[in-house]
Amino acid sequence: MGIRKKDRSAERGLFVLEFAVAVGFMGILGSLVITMLAQGWEINSRNRAIMDVAVGTSTSSTWLVRDIHLATATDLPDGGGAQATAQFTWTDGGGAHVCDFALVSGEFSRTCDATTISIARSIANLSFERTGELITVSYDVISAERGDISDSVELNVALGAG
């Protein structure tokens, strides 16, 4: 009986095969992780844009409803069709107030008693219309980050209901 030598070439071949399988498996896992990170970034971007539109819609609606409810007069002619700007006036314990609403460079602007604030960004198609004591305000709020996310707003508010 003789002593048998181990065949090292077979072991080397097995090692190369194991290494190739491990590298392939790590490549598959890496691509899954990168895909998941990219999807997370996309979802985060979309959610930020949705929140931006929601805040613009909420803030602008709050100011409009408040001021129209308080108003006792407006420059909108009854049945005069849609207009791009509107003015509402009222008097309270603090005196007489005049508030103008307009679209200025894509921002919904409110100027009240000589103080101007931006109540929403990325606004399009702003229009005001009066029918009797009902004021209809319509506009589109578009995400500044993503043009594919927007909200169309149409408010029907009674003049002087507050």
pLDDT in tens, 25-36: 999 999 999 999
pLDDT per residue as tens digits for the range 87-131? 999 998 889 999 999 999 889 999 999 899 999 988 999 999 999
Cα separation values, 156 from 27, 117, 139, Å = 58, 23, 12
At 137, the pLDDT band (50, 70, 90 cuts) reads very high
Judge contact between 109 and 102, C-beta under 8 A: yes
Q: DSSP 3-state assignment of 44?
A: helix
pLDDT at 83 over 70: yes
Cα separation values, 93 from 73, 77, 134, 140, Å = 17, 27, 25, 34
User: What distance in Å separates the CA atoms of residue 125 and residue 122, rounded to the nearest whole number?
Assistant: 10
pLDDT at 51 over 70: yes
Q: For the whole model, what pTM was predicted?
A: 0.75
pLDDT above 90 covers a percentage of the chain that reads 64
pLDDT at 81 over 60: yes
Q: What is the pLDDT of residue 13?
A: 62
In the chain, what is the straight-line distance between the N-terminal and C-terminal CA atoms, in Å? 110
User: What distance in Å separates the CA atoms of residue 143 and residue 87, rounded to the nearest whole number?
Assistant: 27
pLDDT at 9 over 60: no
pLDDT at 3 over 80: no
